[in-house]
Amino acid sequence: MKAAVVVFLGTNCQVETKAALEAYGFETKYVDSNTKNLDEFDCIFLSGGFSYGDYLRSGRIAKFTPLVESLYSYVEKQRGVIAGICNGFQILCEAHLLPGALIENDCLKFVCKNTPLELDFNGTKKKINLPVAHREGKYFYRGDVSEFVFLRYLKNPNGSKDNIAGLYDNKKRIMGLMPHPERAFFNENFGFDGREIFKIIKDELKRG
Amino acid sequence: MSSSVDENLKKEIEKRLKRTPNELENHLFEALWSEHCGYLHSKKQLKKLNFKGSLLPDENSGGVKIGNHGVFFKVESHNHPCAIEPYQGAATGIGGIIRDILALNARPVALLNSLKFAYPDTKETKHIINGVTKGISDYGNSCGISDIAGEVIFDECYKDLPLVNVMAAGLAPLDKVKLSAFREDLEVVLLGSATGLDGVGGAAFASKKLAKNKNEEKIHVQIGDPFVKKLLIEATLEILDLDGVVSCQDCGAAGLLSSTSEMAYKGKCSFELELDKVHLAQKNIEPWQIMLSETQERMVFALKKEALPEVFKIAQKYELEASCIGRTFKGSNYIIKKDSKILSSTPLDVLCNPYCYDLEPVFESDEIKYLKDKKCELFMDIETAVEKMASSYNLVSRKWFYEQWDYLVGGRSYVAPESTGVGVLKFEEENCFVAFCMDTNPLMCALDPYLGSQNTLLESYRNLVSSGFEPLGFTNCLNFASPKGDDTKYSFVKSIEGLRDCSLKLNTPVVSGNVSFYNEAKDKKIYPSVTVGMCGFLDINKPVIKSGFAMQDEIYLIGKMINKNSNVGGSLYQKELLDFLGGSVDEPDFELEDILKKTIFSLRDKKILKSAVDVSKGGILGTLFRVLCASNIGFVGKLINEENADDKLKLKLLFGEIQTRYIISTQNKKELESYFVENNIPYLYLGKCIGDKIKFDGYEFELAKLREKYLNLLQNALED
pLDDT bracket for residue A123 (50, 70, 90): confident
Average pLDDT value for residue range A101-124: 94
pLDDT of residue B439: 98
Q: Rg of chain A's alpha carbons, rounded to an integer?
A: 15
Half-sphere exposure of residue A152, counting CA atoms within 13 Å on the CB side?
Answer: 14
Sign of CA dihedral B420, A129, A134, A66: positive
pLDDT of residue B7: 85
| A contact test, residue of B403, B547, B712, B715 with most A CBs within 10 A | B403
Contact B142 A52 (CB under 8 A): no
Pairing type for strands B163-173 and B69-77 reads antiparallel
Question: Is pLDDT of B4 > 60?
Answer: no
Q: How many CB atoms lie within 10 A of CB B671?
A: 14
DSSP track, B67-92: TTEEEEEEEEE-HHHHHH-HHHHHHH
Identify the closest residue of chain A to B235 by CA–CA distance. A9
Collect all residues of chain A within an 8 Å Cβ-Cβ radius of residue B134. Answer: 109
Identify the closest residue of chain B to A53 by CA–CA distance. B227
Contact A9 B138 (CB under 8 A): no
Helix (H) or strand (E) holding A91: helix A87-94
Residue B444, phi then psi, degrees to nearest 5: -65, -40
Q: Which residues are A130's β-sheet partners?
A: A115
Question: Which residue segments constitute the domains of chain A, with CATH numbers given?
Answer: 2-207 (3.40.50.880)
A183 in contact with B, Cβ within 8 Å? yes
Collect all residues of chain A within an 8 Å Cβ-Cβ radius of residue B426. Answer: 187
Question: Is pLDDT of A204 > 90?
Answer: no
Q: Which residues 6+ apart lie within 8 Å of B681 measured at CB?
A: B558, B595, B596, B599, B675
pLDDT of residue B213: 61
pLDDT bracket for residue B200 (50, 70, 90): confident
Strands (E), A68-110: 81-85, 101-103
How far, in Å, CA of B497 to CA of B359, rounded?
13
Q: Rg of chain B's alpha carbons, rounded to an integer?
A: 26
Question: Is pLDDT of B36 > 90?
Answer: no
Contact B226 A53 (CB under 8 A): yes
Half-sphere exposure of residue B272, counting CA atoms within 13 Å on the CB side?
Answer: 14
Helix (H) or strand (E) holding B700: strand B699-702
A50 in contact with B, Cβ within 8 Å? yes
Contact A133 B231 (CB under 8 A): no
Out of B403, B409, B415, name the one closest to residue A111 (CB): B403
Interface of B with A (CB under 8 A): 134, 137-138, 141-144, 225-228, 230-231, 318-319, 402-411, 414-416, 419, 426
DSSP alpha helices (H): ranges in B303-408?
Answer: 308-317, 348-351, 366-373, 382-390, 399-402
pLDDT of residue A116: 98
Per-residue pLDDT of A13-31, as tens digits, reads 999 999 999 998 999 999 9
pLDDT bracket for residue B62 (50, 70, 90): very high
For this complex, say whether ipTM is above 0.85.
yes
- Count of CB pairs separated by less than 8 Å, A with B: 82
pLDDT of residue B619: 97
Residues B613, B627: contact at Cβ < 8 Å?
Answer: yes
pLDDT of residue A45: 97
Q: Which residues 6+ apart lie within 8 Å of A136 measured at CB?
A: A54, A57, A58, A90, A102, A103, A104, A105
Contact B411 A183 (CB under 8 A): yes
Out of B137, B228, B408, name the one closest to residue A110 (CB): B137
Contact B144 A12 (CB under 8 A): yes
Per-residue pLDDT of B501-520, as tens digits, reads 999 999 999 999 999 999 99
How far, in Å, CA of B627 to CA of B619, rounded?
12
Per-residue pLDDT of B364-396, as tens digits, reads 999 889 999 999 999 999 999 999 999 999 999
Contact A111 B141 (CB under 8 A): no
Q: What share of chain B is helix, strand, coil (3-state, %, to 5)?
A: 40, 25, 35
Q: Maximum distance among all alpha carbons in chain A?
A: 42
Out of B225, B411, B414, name the one closest to residue A16 (CB): B411
CATH number, domain B545-720 = 3.90.650.10
